[in-house]
Amino acid sequence: MPAVKPKLFYGWIIVTAACLVILTMYGTLATFGIFFESMLAEFGWSRAAVAAALSLVIVVRASLYMITGRLTDRYGPRAVVTTCGLLLGLGYVLMSRISAVWHFYLLYILVGVGMSSAWIPQVSTVARWFEKRRGLAISLAGAGEGLGIVLMVPAANWFISVYDWRSSYLAVGIFGAIVITTAAQFLKRDPKKMGLLPYGAGEVAESPAAPPVRGLTLREAAGTGELWLLCAVYLSFLFGLDTVMAHIVVYAVGLGTSPAGAASILATIGGVAVIGRLAMGLFADRAGSKLAIILCLALSTLAWLWLQQANAGWMLYPFAVVFGFVFGGILVQFPLIIAQRFGLTAHGAIMGVVSFVAMTLGASGPVLVGRLFDISGSYRVGFLICGAASALGLILALFSRPVQRAK
């Protein structure tokens, strides 16, 4: 028998702790765009060479998502997130000592290992604590991603302007390790560990956002076309998102924007992402994740079309608003639609596979777009490719459908 229902459901503490972990991990990673200009100025590396470090983070964390997802399914998130938080902090602290490009790559690989607990252990844990309001709960936790950009990007830019980029990396590492490891101690795998039931257990009727009765194993899910379709849809957005996070600041500076102004554009993306996360989480609870994904990809495609015409710094702000809303709104849909289509039995592992495929291939975006700039001196072709990827994802999302299960 579960214990008497407490006044404060512990699931909301889980949401808060997950939000802090996501805020810190993604906030520290978002500072990459701020350090980009410093790396160009200090070492004279090409834009493709600098952007490759972010691609390494993406590939490494995506490769490990399957492992951290399985470990979270089996043992819970606390030990996983604590270990990864310490590794992430160490990577940034040591970054303050680099003197060669291979140092830069090696330490961002270490950061990538730490980042492997940034998303799946958080959203899978939150999903287990909520049946009712699952979309809202995951959205609140995921809002940390946008908040992290809002808080840490301007802070890193200010720190560099007052001190230097080496001191900034040191501060980022110490801050990250302390916050992540502290928040991780409040994470618990599921309500059963505390004699509780998930929030709203037994109250959720059949709806577009409700999970199936029987969860699929990873092997069963991999045998469905729907899993690979979701991988392709996820990839279509991540390709452009990773490109924006790497290049938008240096692109804005190239249009004549001040470093502080360029940082504010990236911060705007993060700030509006919070609104998008909450709005589309509520929308998904009512209309379903498929429709939310379609709406977001339509807006994303329009945003890339606008960016093609941007020839002044002020024109990046409308892009930042629309793209930030999409950024916040779409990423939360994939944990939801995976719960809906495949259940919670292997949610972390399935999310790990989807993330691995989409993020590994999407990691080519920053390098490809950087290389195209190095060749042509323009971002136009690279941004056009990102817009085409978004449009393709929109088309593919229209074909997403519930998984047929044997009785």
The whole-chain average pLDDT of the chain stands at 87
Domain presence at residue 177:
yes
Residue whose C-alpha is closest to residue 401's, from 233, 218, 242: 233
Give 120 or 105, the one with higher predicted confidence.
105
Over residues 294-315, the mean pLDDT reads: 92
Which contiguous run of DSSP H or E holds residue 277? helix 259-287
Q: Write the pLDDT tens digit of every residue in 343-377.
A: 877 777 788 788 889 988 988 999 999 999 999 99
Q: In the chain, how many domains are there?
A: 1
What is the model's pTM? 0.78
The answer to whether residue 301 sits within a structural domain is: yes
Per-residue exposure over 183-194, b if at least 16 CB sit within 10 Å of its own CB, e if not: bbebbbbbbeee
pLDDT tens profile 5-18: 567 888 899 999 99
> 377: which DSSP letter?
S
Q: What pLDDT was estimated at residue 213?
A: 44
CA distance 245 to 270: 10
* 402 lies in some domain: no
The strand pairing partners of 130, in sequence order, are 199
**Residue 308 CB contacts under 8 Å (≥ 6 apart), including other chains:** 380, 383, 384, 387
In a domain, 3, yes or no: no
- Name which residue leads in pLDDT, 62 or 182: 182
58: closest CA among 23, 17, 29, 38?
29
Is residue 195 in some structural domain?
A: no
Q: How confident is the model at residue 302 (pLDDT cuts 50, 70, 90)?
A: very high
Q: Would you say 308 and 369 are in contact if contact means Cβ atoms under 8 Å apart?
A: no
Instruction: Please tell me the predicted confidence (pLDDT) of residue 182.
Output: 97
148-181 per-residue burial string, b: 16 or more CB within 10 A, e: under 16:
bbbbbbbbbbebbeeeebeebbbbbbebbbebbb
* DSSP result, 225-250: HHHHHHHHHHHHHHHHHHHHHHHHHH
Tens of pLDDT along 184-216?
999 988 888 777 777 776 665 444 444 444 578
Per-residue pLDDT tens digits for 377-403? 999 999 999 999 999 999 999 988 877
In this predicted structure, the answer to whether residue 151 has a pLDDT above a threshold of 80 is yes
Instruction: Give the pLDDT confidence of 240-277 residue by residue, as tens digits.
Output: 998 998 889 889 988 989 888 988 998 899 889 889 88
Q: Which domain holds residue 321?
A: 10-189+212-397
Q: Note the pLDDT of residue 203.
A: 60
- CATH code, domain carrying 254: 1.20.1250.20
Residue 107 lies in a domain: yes
Is 73 part of any domain? Answer: yes
Within-domain flag for 204? no
State the Cα–Cα distance between residues 19 and 183, nearest whole angstrom.
Answer: 9
Q: CA–CA distance from 216 to each of 62, 312, 346, 354 (Å)? A: 22, 50, 7, 15
Q: What is the mean pLDDT of residues 111-115?
A: 95
* 4 class by beta-carbon count within 10 Å (0-12 exposed, 13-18 middle, 19+ buried): exposed
Q: For residue 1, what pLDDT is reported?
A: 43
pLDDT of residue 383: 94
